[in-house]
Amino acid sequence: MLRLCVFIYLAFTLCACSSLPAKVVSRQAEPSIAQQMQRTMQAYATTGMVLSVLEPNKPPTILAFGKANQATGEVVTTDTLFPIASISKAFTTTALAILVDRGQLEWDAPLQRYIPEFAMYDPWVSQHFTVRDALTHRSGLPLGAGDLLFWPDGAPSSADILKALPYMKPTSAFRTEFAYDNLLYVIAGELVQRISGQSWADFVSTELFEPIGLSQCAADVSRIKPGQKVVTGHERSPSDHQGIPIDENMLFAPSMAAAAGIYCTAADMLVWGKFWLDGAKTKEGKSLLSEQQRQQVWAGVTPLAPQQLLIDTDASHYSMYALGWFVQDFQGTRMISHSGGAPGVVSNLILLPDRGIVLFASNNDYYGAPQAITLQLANQLLGQQQHDYLAMSASRFVRGLAQAKTHLDDVQTLKPGTQAATLPLTDYAGVYEDPWYGTVTISVLNDALYIDMSRSSLLDGPLRHYQGDAFLAIWPNRTLNADAKLMFKLEAGKVLGFTMQAISAITDFSYDFHDLNFSKVN
């Protein structure tokens, strides 16, 4: 589910109501923009949402609607902080660009020069792995590799990640394919600390937030100021028509901040966007980055296909991942963007630098509404009317809903088989270890197996027997949508270990159970 990622999960509930869920607060909102906001709200049934728009020679538009917390009834305002999740990655690369300008870092130097203990699965890759490689999702690791170290509620240190990386097997050759990851951005944050002597959060706060004028942003959840309004993320199972506030344990730990930890208001995200449109100048008009480094940050490195929607409408023909940004063409102009997903929250930022446009949206449900409305407005503000991207996105959302309903309670369709467990339950109990994840414990509780995933309190629960040596993990928190199947490996009547896989096709890729391979150690 890792909401740090650019891949936005569009399934689940579609709103059938015609009225707004709460009062809309606006600041100089143009009717056409407000209208698109209302369409989005109705299409995606979001609990709460913010939108900010900057156009040349016009005052900014900032909209807020709905509830910041469904349980308390607190409303979203234009001053409410939202987690921007993976949009934080661009702040990390900007911090590194400052260090490059200062002569303290080289983009194409081996990462081991700065972090000697850094290693990947392949020793040759370890030696040749550069700073740029860590930032461009071309490591060879599979999609979301290692996300279970912190998802849904873990808190690994940089040392934990450095220890785990050598055990993560690649699924493609080094520098040949795009596969989104988060752990290497945590290592990039460690790089900032080792070179600058400041923590990543201190560096970003003093070297970026303050000079740029991001007065409301917090580098991680622990740095939110007393009295600041903060949105609550909401999750729901496919059958629910109303979001449920997330378990507070799911908030990203400060140790993950360099990959996904920043909180900002919609207004400050416009300031961040304008900073880039104005040539990376501070609020005092001074250049924070050299022209060379500004070009480096937006220089595409790893190719990937544009969104299918944009291919279908002939709106985009190339897409690449740069340093913390996606760069592509859109309707004949450059589009620089990034989305982000935190537990129960999705955000999207689009810059059209050649047209002086900044678009930001965020909602406190794990829905793709922000991506839909920013794309729609980008198209609209470019004067293109032939495609209604919001309608097309909503249509895809409906299809996603149908898929989600097909997979609704997939576990219920997995009826216990006729093949009994090979061994007594006590023989499956014990301590198991995966090389990168660590240990888990399986015990017998109330005449059933019970798994404790150690890094996560939310991934602890009973195991239901399924068939032979296969059991089902049915997590107590039903909003996770991440039930898993465990397949025990036996030899000569003894349990050697087990593997896991998600049961449902709609389970987010950050539940990378399929990358685990546990051996029994006790």
* Shared domain check, 420 and 335: no
Nearest to 384 by CA among 375, 392, 394: 375
Give residue-wise pLDDT tens across range 63-114. Answer: 999 999 999 999 999 999 999 999 999 999 999 999 999 999 999 999 999 9
* Helix runs in 7-88, H state only: 31-44
Q: Domain tally for the chain?
A: 2
d(C-alpha 289, C-alpha 298), whole Å:
13
In angstroms, what CA-CA distances link 376 with 232, 312, 382, 424? 26, 15, 10, 58
Note the pLDDT of residue 27: 43
Angle between helices 183-196 and 89-101 (to 10 degrees): 30
Domain of 461, CATH number, reads 2.40.128.50
CATH number at residue 201: 3.40.710.10
Out of 372, 389, 406, pick the residue that ends a domain: 406
484 in a domain, yes or no?
yes
Domain shared by 481 and 447, yes or no: yes
Whether 355 contacts 56, CB under 8 Å: yes
Distance from chain centroid for Cα 492 = 43
On the CB side of 314, how many CA atoms lie within 13 Å of its CA?
A: 2
Residues 213 and 293 in one domain: yes
User: Which conformational region is residue 301 in: left (phi greater than 0), alpha (psi within -120 to 50 degrees), or beta?
Assistant: alpha
Please answer whether residues 153 and 4 qualify as being in contact, where contact means their C-beta atoms are separated by less than 8 angstroms: no
Whether residues 209 and 267 fall in one domain:
yes
Identity of the amino acid at 304: L
d(CA 438, CA 307): 36
Kindly state whether residues 419 and 390 are assigned to the same domain.
Answer: no
| Cβ-contact 81, 264 below 8 angstroms | yes
Question: Which pLDDT value is given to residue 400?
Answer: 80
What mean pLDDT is predicted for residues 278-306? 97
125, part of any domain:
no
Same domain as 414, residue 291: no
The verdict on 338 and 418 lying in the same domain is: no
Last residue in a domain, options 387, 406, 425: 406
Q: Give the confidence band of 31 by pLDDT, cuts at 50, 70, 90.
A: low
455 lies in the same domain as 352: no
The yes-or-no verdict on residue 333 having pLDDT over 70 is yes
Last residue of a domain, one of 406, 421, 456: 406
Residue 216: inside a domain, yes or no? yes
Q: Report if residue 185 sits inside a domain.
A: no
Task: Indicate if 332 and 236 belong to the same structural domain.
Answer: yes
Query: Within this chain, do residues 265 and 327 fall inside the same structural domain, yes or no?
Result: yes
353 within domain boundaries: yes
| Residue 6 covered by a domain | no
Closest CA to 202 of 260, 254, 276: 254
436: left (phi over 0), alpha (psi -120 to 50) or beta: alpha
Range of the domain at 309: 25-97+190-406
Same domain, 372 and 304: yes
What is the model's pLDDT at position 24?
A: 39
Question: Does 142 fall in a domain?
Answer: no
Measured distance CA(6)–CA(508) in Å, rounded: 12
Same domain, 282 and 216: yes
pLDDT of residue 126: 98
Q: Does residue 123 sit in helix, strand or coil?
A: helix
Confidence of residue 30 (pLDDT cuts 50, 70, 90): low
d(CA 256, CA 139): 19
pTM above the 0.85 mark?
Answer: yes
Structure tokens at 108: 């194409």
Residue 174 maps to a domain: no
What is the gyration radius of the CA atoms in the chain, in angstroms?
23
Q: Across the chain, what does the average pLDDT equal?
A: 91
